[in-house]
Amino acid sequence: MSATLLPASDKTAIQRAAEILRAGGLVAMPTETVYGLAGDAGNGEAVARLYAAKGRPSFNPLIAHVSGIEMAERLVDIPPLARRLMDEFWPGPLTLVLPKRQDAPISDLANAGLDTIAIRCPNHDAARALIQAVDRPVVAPSANPSGAVSPTTANHVAAGLGNRIDLILDGGECRVGLESAVVAVAGEVATLLRPGGLARDSIEAITGPLQNAGESDAPASPGMLKSHYAPGAAVRLNATEARPGELLLGFGDIAGDLNLSPRGDLTEAAARLFSALRELDARGADTIAVAPIPGHGLGEAINDRLRRAAAPRDTQ
C-alpha cells in the first residue's frame, strides 16, 4: 500500500494530516529546506515507528518542529543569545540545540535521552499550519531512508518511503533545498554543529565567531554520520571533466551533463543539489563526478553534503 498524496495548500488535507499525527501516524510535510517525516514528538510509539520507517539509528536525535517561539518555550530554556537568533531568523532554516526543560512534552526517544533538544520553526505555511493544528511539537527528520539523498519534492518522498507512511503533503519543490543549519547555544557560546541552509556569515552577524563542532568543550552532534546523503552511484569531488562511466555535475563555467548553476549562484546550486544527484543516478552513472564548488556562503553546506555523499559507504 502506498501513501496518499494530497496538496499541502488544501486546508482539509492539513486537518487530515493533523488527525493522523494525533493518532500516532506518520506524515511527510514540505518545509522550505527539505521534506520532513513528521510524527508527534510526545508519542514514543510514533517516534519509534518513525525511526523504523527511515531505518535510522535511534541514537541519532530528531529536531522538534514548532509553530513559533511560544511553543519552543514549552520544550527548552531560551538564553538571550538564542532568543536573538530566533527573532532574527525564525521562521527559517536555523535549528537551535538548547537545554531541555524538565517538563518538556517530548518522548526520550525523540532526543535520544539527551539533556538538550534541537528545535526549529520552518518557514513554510503548510508546515506551520500543520504543527498549529496538531498543537504539539512535531519531530521531523528528512523524509528519506536513512543515509540516502534528502527529498526536495513529494515524488522523492514517495519513491523512498511511500509504502511506509500514511500521508504525503505535496508542497512542490523546496525553496532552500538543503537542511537547516544546526547551532547549539549554551549561555553566550554558539557552536555550529551542522552547516546548512542559513550561511555561517548570517549567523555570525548575531553570534560573533561560531565554535566548530569537535573543538574543545563544543557539544557533538551525534547524528553527523560520515556517509550520508548518498546516491546509488559513487561520487568523485573536484572534477573538471567526466571519466569513462561518469556523469559530470557542473557548476558555473564547468558545464557538465547537468549544471547546478550556470551563473555560479550558490543559492540556486543549493536548491538544485539533491534533485541533481537523483537525476544523474537515474541516468545510470557509475560515478557522479562533481565540479569544484566555492566554500563561501551556502557553499560550506553544499560541500559538507557532497563530502558525505562521497565518503566510503561502509563507515555508517
- Which of Mg ion, ligand TXA, none is residue 180 near (CB under 5 to 8 Å by kind)? ligand TXA
Tell me how far, at minimum, the Cβ of 265 lies from ligand TXA, in Å.
20
Residues 6+ apart with CB under 8 A from 310: 234, 235, 236, 237, 290
Q: For residues 127 and 291, which CB has a smaller minimum distance to Mg ion in the complex?
A: 127
Tell me how far, at minimum, the Cβ of 114 lies from ligand TXA, in Å.
5
Q: For residues 142 and 261, which CB has a smaller minimum distance to Mg ion in the complex?
A: 142
Closest-approach residue to ligand TXA (CB): 223
The residue type found at 9 is S
**Binding interface with ligand TXA (CB under 6 A):** 31, 33-34, 36, 60-63, 93, 95, 97, 111, 114, 116-118, 120, 122, 140-142, 179-180, 182, 193-194, 221-224
Q: For residues 29 and 276, which CB has a smaller minimum distance to ligand TXA in the complex?
A: 29
Give alpha helix (H) positions in the chain: 11-22, 44-54, 69-73, 80-89, 125-134, 154-161, 200-207, 266-282, 299-310
Locate 292 and state its grid cell: 569544484
The C-alpha atoms of residue 287 and residue 191 are separated, in whole angstroms, by 34
Tell me how far, at minimum, the Cβ of 165 lies from Mg ion, in Å.
15
* Dihedral over alpha carbons 28, 124, 171, 159 (to 10 degrees): -40
Are 169 and 126 spatial neighbours (Cβ–Cβ below 8 Å)?
A: yes
- Which of ligand TXA, Mg ion, none is residue 104 near (CB under 5 to 8 Å by kind)? none
Q: For residues 142 and 191, which CB has a smaller minimum distance to Mg ion in the complex?
A: 142
Tell me how far, at minimum, the Cβ of 253 lies from Mg ion, in Å.
31
Return contacts of 205-208, CB within 8 angstroms, 24+ apart: 206/81, 206/84, 206/85, 206/88, 207/81, 207/85, 207/183
The C-alpha atoms of residue 145 and residue 158 are separated, in whole angstroms, by 11
Choose the stretch contacting Mg ion; rule: CB under 5 A; options: 65-73, 100-108, 140-148, 287-295: 140-148
- Which of ligand TXA, Mg ion, none is residue 301 near (CB under 5 to 8 Å by kind)? none
Locate 45 and state its grid cell: 510509539
Cα distance between the two ends of the chain: 30
Q: For residues 183 and 248, which CB has a smaller minimum distance to ligand TXA in the complex?
A: 183
- Which of Mg ion, ligand TXA, none is residue 222 near (CB under 5 to 8 Å by kind)? ligand TXA
Q: For residues 164 and 194, which CB has a smaller minimum distance to ligand TXA in the complex?
A: 194
Q: Which of 77, 80, 76, 92 has its CA nearest to residue 41?
A: 76
- Which of Mg ion, ligand TXA, none is residue 123 near (CB under 5 to 8 Å by kind)? none
Q: Is there binding between residue 142 and Mg ion (CB under 5 A)?
A: yes
**Cα–Cα–Cα angle for 29, 123, 36, rounded to 5 degrees:** 25
Residues binding Mg ion (CB under 5 A)? 142
